[in-house]
Structure 1
Amino acid sequence: MTKRTARTAALLAVPALFLAACGGDGGEGSGGGGDGALTIATGGTGGVYYPLGGGIANVISKNVDGTSATAQETNASVDNMMLIQEGSADLALGVGDVVAGAAEGTGSFEEPLDVCSIGSMYHNYMQPVTTKGTGVQSAEDMKGKTISVGAPGSATEVGAMRVLEAAGIDPEKDIDRRQLGAAETVDALRDGTIDAGFWSGGLPTGALVDLASTGDMQLIEIGEYADELAKEYGDYYVKEDIPAKTYEGQSEPVSVIASPNILVANTSMDEQLQEDVTRAIFENKDALVQVHSAAKELDASTAGDVPFIDACPGSQKYYDEVG
């Protein structure tokens, strides 16, 4: 069994949860490529992928004739790429470094996967978080501590391991490593069972909004490692600030690392359906912003410009039309 197949089998052994986020009749859609039901692989319920994926499912269901869509809870980026490859999902969200690895057959992937880009959706921000009294004020302070690096098979885990290594920490030896999603990380911080945790997601992330409301949350700056990660792994790592007041009690901007989030499909998806899905998303931006503010970043003029993965032909046709 290959590493990819083994991971996929492990994922599929867990019962999937679905958002009730689709209209089965496809609404009064304008598309012409719908051919039934689509599954969108997202992430955990505490992050942005899951609610935004539900919003995308809604706009597809309402605007692509003959097509209904549902959003599936998953462990996020790495597993999402595998689900697309195995045909267990039709669309999937993934962060730039993982999507690049899937397209190139590097990192977590033994060979290039059959994926193409519907488009760039918004940016993920790597958000290392702790609480008052843990003594963790920097990545270097995590040495010897109990740290969550994100759910297994997630982009959070990939990025967290790379940040720790850049900070001179061996994730296998120098920390007590836990693998928790956003909501579980928040619960563990509250319980005092971890000292800090990583989360990669849009702004604001619901689970962190909840934690910040207690007045104990502290974000940890890691922007200093952006150039090193970009040089070693690729230009999808950039230094960005989490703006002041993104979270309650956050009075100053916090320098972290950001990466683009890409919606991908299998290259075998019907070209007309690719175009219809792309059109439905970008021509219903306002509806998606109502689901999550991260959708404010949707921009058809730049969404097709993803240098590390080919655009799906149908999506490119849409971008050429609106450009």
Structure 2
Amino acid sequence: MPPALAAGTTALALLTSISAFPAYSQNTSIAFIIGGGWVTGAYYPVAGAVCQRFEAVQPDGERCAIAPSHGSIENIEDLRSGGELMGMAQSDWVFHAYHGTSIFEEAGAFEDLRSIAALQAEPVTVMVRADLGVDSFEGLKGRKINIGEPGSGTRATWDVIADALDWSEEDQAAATEYGATEAFVSFCSGNIDAFFWLVGQPSELTNEAIRSCGAKLLSVEGEEIDELIEDNSYFRKTVIPAGTYPGQESDIVSFGVGAVLVTRADAPESLIHDLVSAIAGDIDAFAAYHPTLQGLTPQTMAGDGLSAPLHPGAERAYEELGVKW
């Protein structure tokens, strides 16, 4: 099968496998909607795991659903405008939204933004075609690299990194702005050289690109990256351990953020309490829904890189579970 056709088939299969999660257009009798992300990324299935844990403990059959989106920025803006009641977002953009800084400076501080739970870590993940001989992130300058859709957390983080590295517009002139699925197909078809995104590990799309499309992972490190981490508390150094993906013989050093489930201050306290109790009260059952959730604990949920205050309903649930933060 030609690479482009194989890539399209794989992307379709991934979409089909995720369709078991309830989409808001398929169910009108729901308690709340979570703004997810790309359906081939981690946000959408992790939001699905949140819904499944919530529904598993509802005696009256209450449901929740997931709305696909471009990711963090769109989900936060939707919360601010009174749309979906919850959303998935990167910890860095939660910080900037709450404080009204960076790309949220014009809109002002979103003081009613509240955290529910810190979920999976999201390393900056960079794949490049192995046959290009590129061995460092700096070697991507001027190449065809996908930097993410406008409005996504991935794209906004790319802009921060490019600024820290002092890359000019000319250095990025060949960059593309695809969503994850389109970027995957374009990469496997040989139309782009590299693929940048923030995603929980392991990632099925990353695995497929390495296994079937001749991709390899690049580390993202250096003095400028160290300074970026030091200056921003929501960033942390991360490692994708050797053996995570086919043929990966060494650790991949990177940095990243955390994925956070967020809501507004006006969300019903009882609803948020019940949701957190359903997740943190049986953390093993929740973590079993998706591989990026492995290692999650109630303690990390309540205090691992949260950039906005906890919702009172979440606080009460964590306190009842004996969690301190």
- Do these two structures clear the TM 0.5 threshold for a shared fold by scoring above it? yes
Instruction: Report which of the two has the higher share of helix.
Output: 2
Residue of structure 1 equivalent to 2:153: 155
Q: Percent identity?
A: 26
* 2:71 is equivalent to residue 76 of structure 1: yes
Q: Does 1:21 align with 2:21?
A: yes
The farther-off stretch of 155-164 and 49-58 is 155-164
**Separation (CA, whole Å) in 2 of partners of 1:227 and 1:236:** 13
Please state if 1:164 is matched with 2:159.
no
Contact 1:119 1:304 in 2 (8 A): yes
For the 8 Å contact 1:215–1:248, the answer to whether it is kept is no
Corresponding residue for 2:181? 183
- Structure 2 unaligned blocks of 5 or more: 1-17
Question: Aligned partners of 2:45, 2:108: CA distance in 1, in Å?
Answer: 31
With normalisation by structure 1, the TM-score equals 0.85
Task: Pick one of 199, 202, 209 that aligns with 1:201.
Answer: 199
Distance in 1, matches of 2:273 and 2:138, equals 46
Q: Distance in 2 between matches of 1:106 and 1:64?
A: 39
SS in 1 for 2:41: coil
Match of residue 174 from structure 1: 171
In 1, Cα distance between the equivalents of 2:311 and 2:300? 15
Q: How many residues align?
A: 294
Alignment of 1:45-194 (within 5 A): 45-64=39-58, 66=60, 67-109=62-104, 110-113=107-110, 114-170=112-168, 172-175=169-172, 176-194=174-192
- Residues 23/86 of structure 1: CA separation in 2 closer, same or farther (3 Å cut): closer
The CA deviation at 1:298 is 2.3
Asked if residue 42 in structure 1 is aligned to residue 36 in structure 2, the reply is yes
Deviation string 1:165-192 (CA, Å, 9 cap, x unpaired) is: 333312x331212112222222111112
- Across the aligned residues of Structure 1 and Structure 2, the Cα RMSD in angstroms comes to 2.2
User: Are positions 1:317 and 2:311 aligned together?
Assistant: no
One-letter amino acid of the counterpart of residue 174, structure 1: D
Partner of 1:10: none
Stretches of structure 1 that go unaligned for 5 or more consecutive residues are 1-17, 25-34
Q: What are the superposed Cα offsets for residues 81-133 of structure 1, whole Å, 9 maximum, x if unpaired?
A: 01111222111111111111111111221212221000111110110111122
Q: 1:64: Cα distance to partner?
A: 3.8
So what's the TM-score if we normalise by structure 2?
Answer: 0.84
1:207-232 CA distances to partner (integer Å, 9 max, x unpaired)? 11111112611111113344221244
